[in-house]
Structure 1
């Protein structure tokens, strides 16, 4: 029974949850907002950050400077067609992307999406817990003592509870950030 492995896997669920949340717009510009965008260039699909430098010079503006001018039309198309609702202003090899104010309905949609991501992370943590408990049952069948089994069960449950509490704290912080006007 390896508690470190369970802890690592639960931390992986938290990291994936944080990555999902970084893509949610909060009305403030962030270079990570563009992370989900992929561009079809050079005969393959590449993440935008492998084709351009992304900067945030102002709280409501993102600039994207493509390294190869030939990829500029494909990058612009990818930004426009993304689900982020962004409209880049093209100035040669540099795109200026203004971040519009979020209205109340849009904020509520983002909060719902954040809750959905959080539930996915909680489910992933519970799957890790279940795997740990299954491993513990196998160890019991192989001769693990009842007291040791009970101690490990309590440790696994505490690890699960702590991880879910961390997910809830990250969710609450993101929700406050989204709803902040």
Structure 2
């Protein structure tokens, strides 16, 4: 196969991998009833004048399936961390006991499960759009190359095959996440 075409295919594959990786990160943030330190990954804390990720100013643990504990490295950070968790609008109510912050993760209601499923579907659709966009870019690049019609046809077929593979991967991730969310 032509080197230029292989390069286009490789860059399309990289873009599609990036879309799937983004979906995986988004799915980690969608909680499925079980406590996880990743639920607090989007929380930023005011630390000496700059916004710092919570994981860089505190130790985050899950002592059990329904509790997250946040132990700051500096006790003076407790009120700041508590405020940051409240401001992150994650639906958590942190409790400060003087040593650490405890967050009880409430069990999901049926209504909330449906909301989370919709959110997961939206994230999966965003990932599919990213994959299709990579396909479109690759097909355009292939068209712009100076190659024979047969090579161009084969290359676009390869791009479509790659696209189908990644869309199926996204669908598989989505169905696994939906099952995880809906499991009581």
Match of 2:50 among 33, 44, 50: 44
Match of 1:117 among 123, 132, 138: 123
Which residue is equivalent to 2:156?
153
Q: What is the SS of the residue equivalent to 2:20?
A: helix
Question: What are the within-5 Å matches in structure 2 for residues 129-140 of structure 1?
Answer: 129-139=135-145
Q: What is the SS of the residue equivalent to 1:101?
A: coil
Q: 1-side partners of 2:94 and 2:162: how far apart?
A: 45
Q: What is the SS of the residue equivalent to 2:60?
A: strand
Which residue is equivalent to 2:84?
78
Which residue is equivalent to 1:179?
182
| Cα RMSD, aligned residues only | 1.0
Give TM-score scaled by structure 1 length: 0.95
Any stretches of 5+ residues in structure 2 without a counterpart?
A: none
Where in structure 1 do 4 or more consecutive aligned residues deviate above 2 Å? none
Q: Say how many residue pairs are matched.
A: 178
| Cα deviation, residue 43, structure 1 | 0.8
Q: 1-side partners of 2:35 and 2:182: how far apart?
A: 15
Larger displacement relative to structure 2 (10-19 or 40-49): 40-49
Question: Is the aligned partner of 1:103 residue 2:106?
Answer: no
| Cα deviation, residue 92, structure 1 | 2.0
Question: Is the aligned partner of 1:24 residue 2:27?
Answer: no
Q: 2-side partners of 1:111 and 1:83: how far apart?
A: 19
Contact persistence 1:31–1:54 (CA under 8 A): yes
